[in-house]
Amino acid sequence: MSMLRLVVGGAALLVSTLVPAQSSNPYDGAWTIKLDAPQAKGLDGRLVIDKDGGTWDVRYMSKRNPCAGKEAPVVVRKATAEELAFDVDFAKVLTGCGVVSYTARPAADGSLHGQSTDGQRTIVLRRE
């Protein structure tokens, strides 16, 4: 009987290591964006997070930056109670555009405050 337990226990351990656990993203849902960028302050937009992806939509026109103001896909890099880190991939929207990475942390009022990794843009996210 103990040999059977050993085999069953070993099989259960093997299966549990092969099947990754479904982790939930505490930031799933829709968020309003307040964005301050180098040439544009006080921009409004919308961020939708769905597990490890989503969309970023801040609409504005810029003659100097054709990548600005485009709806773009988001890739979530990290989503913990302490931090949300994500990339906005403008390169998938328009050839020649790049990726802007953001990191935001929760504030006491439930909003998220952060900035781009290059330090040029600041964001405040509020759950809709």
Per-residue exposure over 62-80, b if at least 16 CB sit within 10 Å of its own CB, e if not: eeeeebbbbebebebeebe
Q: Which domains are seen in the chain, by residue range?
A: 25-127 (2.40.128.120)
Binned at pLDDT 50, 70 and 90, residue 15 comes out as: very low
Instruction: Taking residues 101-127, report their average pLDDT.
Output: 98
Phi-psi region of 26 (alpha: psi -120 to 50; beta: other; left: phi over 0): alpha
pLDDT digits (tens, 9 = 90+) for 86-109: 999 999 999 999 999 999 999 999
3-state helix, strand, coil in the chain (%, to 5): 15, 50, 35
Under 8 Å CB-to-CB from 8, ≥6 apart: which residues?
none
Report residue 18 as tokens: 């092969």
Which pLDDT belongs to residue 60?
Answer: 86
Of residues 20 and 63, more confidence is placed in 63
Q: Are strands 112-116 and 122-127 parallel, antiparallel or unpaired?
A: antiparallel
The pLDDT mean for the chain works out to: 87
Dist CA 124 CA 47 (whole Å): 11
31-85 pLDDT, tens digit per residue, is 999 999 988 899 999 999 999 999 999 988 888 888 888 999 999 999 999 999 9
